[in-house]
C-alpha cells in the first residue's frame, strides 16, 4: 500500500459539487458538501481517527478481502474498498458496542460520506440487527472476522500466508483459545449468508491478503 500523506480534510475541490443536509447532534439541519467516496479519502478519514497499527491493519485486511470479492462479482471495487476501510474507523474512539459503530455514523454523515456507504458500514454490527440485504453488506460481514482470523493464523507461521491451507485455518477455528476474540459463529454464518463454501472463502481471503503481507507485518513471500 502506498503511503498516503497526512492532509487536512478538504471539501473545496472539484468533487464537492453536490451538497447534502444532515442533522447534527443538537438537532440542527446543516448543509455539508457531498464527498466523493474515494479510497484515498477513506484512508484519510480512517487514519485521522485511528492511530492503532493493529486497527489500521485490520482495516487493510478487510479492505483487501472485500476488494477481491468486488472484482470477482464485477462490482464497484473502489466503493466496496471504501466501506471496508471505514467499517471500524470509529472503533478507537468508540471501543464499546454502546457506541460502535452507531456513533460513528453521524461523524461520517457530517463529513459528507454517502448514505449507502454509511448504511453498509452499520450493517456489519450484529447488535444493530440491520438486514444484510445487499451483496456488499454480506461480503463485508463475511470478510470482517475471517480476515482477522487468517491474519492471526499467518502471524504464528514462519512463512506467513505462504502455503496456508483452509484445512489448517479450520483446525485453528476449532481451538477456542486461538485468536479468542474472533467470533467463530460469525465466521461460519458470514460464509453461509454470502453463499460461499468455507474452504473457498478462506482461499479467497488468503490470496487477497498476500499482496499486502508486508503492510500486515507478515513475511512478504516469494515474488511471483
**Binding-site ranges for Fe ion (CB under 5 A):** 88, 144
Cell numbers 489448517 label which residue?
168
Cell numbers 440487527 label which residue?
129
Distance CA(154)–CA(145), nearest Å, equals: 14
How far is CA 42 from each of CA 38, 46, 49, 113, rounded to the nearest angstrom? 6, 6, 11, 9
- Please identify, using beta-carbon distances, which residue of 44 and 88 lies nearer to Fe ion: 88
Query: Dihedral, CA atoms, 104, 105, 110, 111, nearest 10 degrees?
Result: 70
- From the CB of 140, what's the least distance to Fe ion, in Å? 9
- Please identify, using beta-carbon distances, which residue of 63 and 144 lies nearer to Fe ion: 144
Instruction: Cell numbers for 104, please give them.
Output: 460513528
- Please identify, using beta-carbon distances, which residue of 32 and 151 lies nearer to Fe ion: 151
Within 10 angstroms of residue 50's Cβ, the number of other Cβ atoms is: 20
- From the CB of 21, what's the least distance to Fe ion, in Å? 27
- From the CB of 71, what's the least distance to Fe ion, in Å? 21
Name the nearest CA neighbour of 151 among 15, 224, 57, 222. 57
- From the CB of 148, what's the least distance to Fe ion, in Å? 7
Distance CA(224)–CA(215), nearest Å, equals: 18
- From the CB of 99, what's the least distance to Fe ion, in Å? 11
- Please identify, using beta-carbon distances, which residue of 16 and 107 lies nearer to Fe ion: 107
- Please identify, using beta-carbon distances, which residue of 88 and 186 lies nearer to Fe ion: 88
Distance CA(23)–CA(210), nearest Å, equals: 42
- Please identify, using beta-carbon distances, which residue of 20 and 105 lies nearer to Fe ion: 105
Name the nearest CA neighbour of 83 among 7, 15, 142, 137. 137
Instruction: Cell numbers for 198, please give them.
Output: 468455507
- From the CB of 100, what's the least distance to Fe ion, in Å? 6
- Please identify, using beta-carbon distances, which residue of 18 and 97 lies nearer to Fe ion: 97
The distance in angstroms from the start CA to the end CA of the chain is: 17
- From the CB of 97, what's the least distance to Fe ion, in Å? 9
Amino acid at each position: 500500500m502506498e503511503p498516503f500523506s497526512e492532509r487536512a480534510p478538504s471539501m473545496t475541490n472539484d468533487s464537492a459539487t453536490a451538497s447534502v443536509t444532515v442533522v447534527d447532534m443538537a438537532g440542527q439541519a446543516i448543509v455539508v458538501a457531498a464527498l466523493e467516496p474515494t479510497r484515498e479519502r477513506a484512508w484519510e478519514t480512517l487514519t485521522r481517527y485511528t492511530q492503532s497499527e493493529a486497527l489500521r491493519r485490520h482495516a487493510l485486511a478487510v479492505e483487501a478481502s472485500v476488494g477481491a470479492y468486488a472484482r470477482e462479482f464485477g462490482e464497484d471495487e473502489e466503493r466496496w474498498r471504501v466501506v471496508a476501510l471505514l467499517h471500524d474507523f470509529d472503533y478507537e474512539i468508540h471501543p464499546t458496542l454502546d457506541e460502535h459503530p452507531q456513533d460513528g455514523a453521524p461523524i461520517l454523515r457530517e463529513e459528507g460520506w454517502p448514505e449507502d456507504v454509511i448504511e453498509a458500514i452499520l450493517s456489519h454490527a450484529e447488535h444493530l440487527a440491520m438486514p444484510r440485504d445487499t451483496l456488499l453488506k454480506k461480503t463485508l460481514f463475511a470478510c470482517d472476522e475471517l480476515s482477522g482470523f487468517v491474519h492471526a493464523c499467518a502471524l504464528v507461521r514462519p512463512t506467513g500466508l505462504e502455503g496456508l491451507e483452509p484445512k489448517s485455518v479450520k483446525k485453528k477455528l476449532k481451538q477456542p483459545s486461538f485468536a479468542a476474540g474472533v467470533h467463530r459463529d460469525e465466521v461460519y454464518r458470514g460464509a453461509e449468508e454470502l453463499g460461499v463454501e468455507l474452504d473457498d472463502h478462506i482461499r479467497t481471503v488468503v490470496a487477497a491478503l498476500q499482496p499486502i503481507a508486508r503492510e500486515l507485518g507478515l513475511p512478504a513471500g516469494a515474488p511471483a
